[in-house]
């Protein structure tokens, strides 16, 4: 026979100090939603870690020590973002590596297929690639609980490389207008590869896809809204290319 | 005719608020010593910036996400050290890029000639290369004013990669003892390249060389002491190789 606790109310006290997962009050109580958030944070964390690596890598192309140091500073900002998300994953009781692992193949494939050949390609990639990723996460953040949304918006804050990239790329094109054709082509290739890897992730990660299209407790958008979202992402991309002095 | 100031004592008051460079009270008042310190900090700053790049680069070889994140954290620590030295160079009224520039060729040549081909070569390089550099700067710090010495010792603090590298390299050699031969050879090549670049710097930078061998206000060592210093550097290198399980 199992022994009953001498006072049944003591177990209720414990339950109060660590409340049961109730989807009505604790969004993480909904296990599908929790899975989707862990996926989202895992993808974002690995994205920041590879952004760190990529910016540090691109620093080797820098034409001056000051440019090298500027890129290194941006890489460090990405690492600090990564570190914030990793802490949140740990708070959620999830192994950060476990959460990031599913997104390694898509992110590594993206970076392998879009390795910049020079300083300018690196800057265009940082600006255009991060721009699309940031827009996408901002759109998704509308369907998140307050605490997760605050974290996501915080790590998406511009680390200053947008203005830096726009300034350097515009100056280079002004100095040599023939660069515009090659860099415009490069921008299109970046978007194509980003979309193809995003589709791969959406096909493989049900919870994450459901968060986007309303499957998780009807938080997400309907399909018409997803269509409008993609239209917005495309418009923003075109606007970014224009600000570099390039056609999309 | 030049006009005399109406009250000669007013210029003395200015001189008191910004005291004249007096070698007896302000070590930077000695222009040779100041040049040597700017050289030393410039070399150290560019060394930290390239250490950042190299560790970030080596992160791409990491066998797991946790290892990748560990190397990224070390790279960030190197960047923070770089940032500290850059601030000090600015305080000294020197353009940090100008101070670093003379050391680019030697440091870039060293890294080009010792690009690791895999994760283990990267770890051995980080441990052995940084070990020699740290020993060397510590030796030189004995001839510095208090304030510069404090900064130098602070940026030389181990960022945790020694223990990490020793742990990983020992485990790899235990798992596959045949690795020991290749990695021991690699260690010897690293020392050879480091010494050859150090000689290049010593030949080109008079003030820095003088700081070491006592030419600057007799702060430095005599030649016999330099000989003993090199003996200590070599002993420490042998000890480090042994702690990796390798012969020097």
- The proportion of chain B whose per-residue pLDDT surpasses 90, expressed as a percent, equals 56
pTM reported for the whole predicted model: 0.82
Q: Do A96 and B57 touch (CB under 8 A)?
A: no
Asked whether the beta carbons of A236 and A229 are under 8 A apart, the reply is: no
Distance from CA of A59 to the nearest CA of B (A): 7
Residues near B183 by beta carbon (within 8 Å), at least 6 away in sequence: B120, B121, B124, B169, B173, B244, B246
Nearest to B52 among A72, A83, A100 (CB): A72
Q: Do A49 and B69 touch (CB under 8 A)?
A: yes
Q: Do B75 and A56 touch (CB under 8 A)?
A: yes
Average pLDDT, chain A: 85
pLDDT digits (tens, 9 = 90+) for B178-221: 999 999 999 999 998 988 888 888 888 888 888 877 655 556 66
Question: Strands, E, within chain A: which ranges?
Answer: none
Is B53's pLDDT higher than 50?
yes
Distance from CA of B65 to the nearest CA of A (A): 6
- In chain B, DSSP finds a helix count (H) and a strand count (E) of 11, 0
Chain A residue numbers touching B80 (CB-CB < 8 A): 76
Closest-CA residue of chain A to B112: A60
> Which residue from B188, B172, B80, B202 is spatially nearest to B129, judged by alpha carbons?
B188
> Which residue from A118, A1, A107 is spatially nearest to A51, judged by alpha carbons?
A107
Q: Which of A1-5, A100-104, B4-8 has the highest mean pLDDT?
A: A100-104
pLDDT digits (tens, 9 = 90+) for A179-190: 999 999 999 999
Higher pLDDT, B3 or B26: B26
Distance from CA of A65 to the nearest CA of B (A): 6
CB pairs under 8 A between A and B: 66
């Amino acid at each position: 026979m199992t022994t009953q606790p001498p006072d049944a109310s003591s177990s209720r006290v414990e339950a109060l100090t660590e409340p049961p997962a109730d989807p009505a009050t604790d969004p993480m109580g909904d296990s599908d939603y929790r899975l989707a958030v862990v996926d989202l944070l895992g993808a974002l964390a690995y994205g920041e870690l590879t952004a760190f690596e990529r910016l540090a890598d691109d620093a080797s192309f820098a034409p001056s020590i000051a440019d090298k140091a500027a890129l290194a500073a941006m890489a460090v900002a990405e690492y600090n973002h990564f570190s914030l998300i990793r802490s949140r994953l740990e708070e959620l009781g999830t192994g950060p590596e476990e959460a990031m692992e599913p997104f390694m193949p898509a992110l590594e494939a993206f970076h392998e297929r879009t390795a910049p050949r020079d300083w300018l390609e690196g800057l265009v990639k940082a600006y255009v690639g991060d721009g699309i990723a940031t827009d996408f996460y901002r759109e998704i953040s509308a369907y998140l609980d307050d605490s997760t949304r605050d974290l996501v918006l915080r790590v998406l804050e511009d680390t200053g490389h947008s203005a830096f990239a726009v300034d350097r790329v515009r100056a280079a094109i002004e100095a040599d207008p023939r660069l515009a054709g090659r860099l415009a082509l490069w921008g299109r290739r970046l978007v194509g590869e980003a979309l193809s890897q995003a589709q791969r992730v959406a096909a493989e990660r049900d919870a994450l896809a459901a968060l986007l299209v309303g499957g998780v407790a009807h938080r997400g958008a309907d399909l018409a809204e997803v269509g409008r979202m993609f239209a917005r992402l495309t418009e923003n991309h075109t606007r970014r290319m224009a600000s570099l002095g390039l056609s999309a």
